[in-house]
């Protein structure tokens, strides 16, 4: 009797197990959810990379002594979500400044060819990025693919000569590890997270 049902039970258990693993225990059905879960569980080491900011200075991507870095990937002529995302990024900057949290905000262009320092400062001025606590910067063409891969950012060209990308706020903690991802409008969550990490 048991032998009759055994293959079916085994197939059901194996199937359920595979689907359980494939969704990280029914927690991540999309690749975006999967990357967020993965960096929380195993933060990723960020390499030492220099970016060129809107004043043509070289700025480090990695946090300097005692600070935390928030990274948003953008391209400066982005029409819709990047504009509201930039407004929210400015909101985060204001909150962190008010609380005295040591943090640096970077809007990193994934279109370094078109986003020259002049172009980046137009974007920076429009959103009141001061160039110190929050600056706009571009990686070298050589570093770009590695950064997109590390942060799991997928950029695809859209129908109007722009791009679509999984926009988010990426946290690089004091140890130089990419350790969390937040929605671009999750201002309160980011502020709370950094407030805890840095009392």
Partner 1 sequence: MKMTVLALLAAAEAIALRQAAEASPIQHVLVQMPLLVLAGVLISWDMRGRRVWAVPLLLTALTAFLFWMLPRSVDWALTPAGETAKYLSLPLLLGVPLRLSWPWLAPVLRGFLKANALSMLGVLGFLYTHAPLRICNSYLVSAQQDLGFAFLQLAVVLACIWAVPVLFGHPRWLPSGSAGCSKCGA
Residue 132 makes contact with partner 1 by CB under 8 A? no
Which phi and psi (to 5°) does residue 58 adopt?
Answer: -90, 125
* H helix or E strand, kind and range, residue 136: strand 134-138
Q: Are the C-beta atoms of 120 and 76 separated by less than 8 Å?
A: yes
Residue 22 makes contact with partner 1 by CB under 8 A? yes
Question: How far is it, in rounded angstroms, from Cα 114 to Cα 63?
Answer: 26
Give me the least distance between CB of 17 and partner 1, in Å please: 9
Residue 11 makes contact with partner 1 by CB under 8 A? yes
Cβ contacts of 49 within 8 Å, gap of 6 or more: 60, 61, 62, 139, 143, 147
Residue 60 tokens, joined: 């480090």
Choosing from 87, 90, 131, 164, the residue that interacts with partner 1 (CB under 8 A) is 164
Residue 34 makes contact with partner 1 by CB under 8 A? yes
Residue 188 makes contact with partner 1 by CB under 8 A? no
Binding span for partner 1 by CB under 8 A among 45-53, 58-66, 131-139, 157-165:
157-165
Q: Are the C-beta atoms of 21 and 13 separated by less than 8 Å?
A: no
Residue 29 makes contact with partner 1 by CB under 8 A? yes
The contact pattern for partner 1, residues 81-110, with x = CB under 8 A and - = no contact, is ------------------------------
Q: Are the C-beta atoms of 90 and 129 separated by less than 8 Å?
A: yes
Q: Are the C-beta atoms of 184 and 169 separated by less than 8 Å?
A: yes
Choosing from 27, 30, 114, 140, the residue that interacts with partner 1 (CB under 8 A) is 30
Instruction: Please say which residue, 28 or 122, places its beta carbon nearer to partner 1.
Output: 28
Q: Which residues bind partner 1 (CB under 8 A)?
A: 4, 7-8, 10-12, 14-16, 18-19, 22-23, 28-34, 154, 156, 158-159, 164, 166
């Amino acid at each position: 009797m048991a032998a009759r049902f055994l293959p079916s039970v085994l197939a059901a258990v194996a199937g359920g197990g595979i689907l359980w693993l494939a969704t990280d225990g029914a927690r991540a059905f999309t690749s975006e959810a999967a990357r967020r879960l993965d960096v929380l569980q195993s933060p990723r080491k960020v390499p030492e990379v220099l970016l060129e900011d809107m004043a043509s200075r070289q700025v480090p991507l990695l946090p300097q002594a005692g600070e935390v870095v928030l990274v948003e990937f953008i391209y400066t002529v982005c029409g819709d979500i990047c504009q509201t995302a930039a407004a929210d990024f400015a909101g985060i900057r204001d909150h962190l400044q008010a609380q005295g949290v040591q943090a640096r905000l970077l809007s990193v262009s994934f279109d370094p060819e078109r986003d020259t320092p002049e172009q980046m400062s137009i974007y920076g001025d429009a959103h009141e990025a001061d160039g110190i606590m929050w600056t706009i910067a571009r990686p070298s063409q050589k570093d770009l693919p590695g950064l997109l891969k590390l942060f799991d950012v997928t950029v695809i060209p859209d129908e109007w000569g722009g791009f679509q990308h999984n926009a988010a706020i990426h946290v690089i903690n004091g140890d130089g590890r990419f350790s969390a991802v937040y929605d671009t409008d999750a201002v309160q969550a980011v502020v709370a997270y950094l407030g805890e990490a840095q009392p």
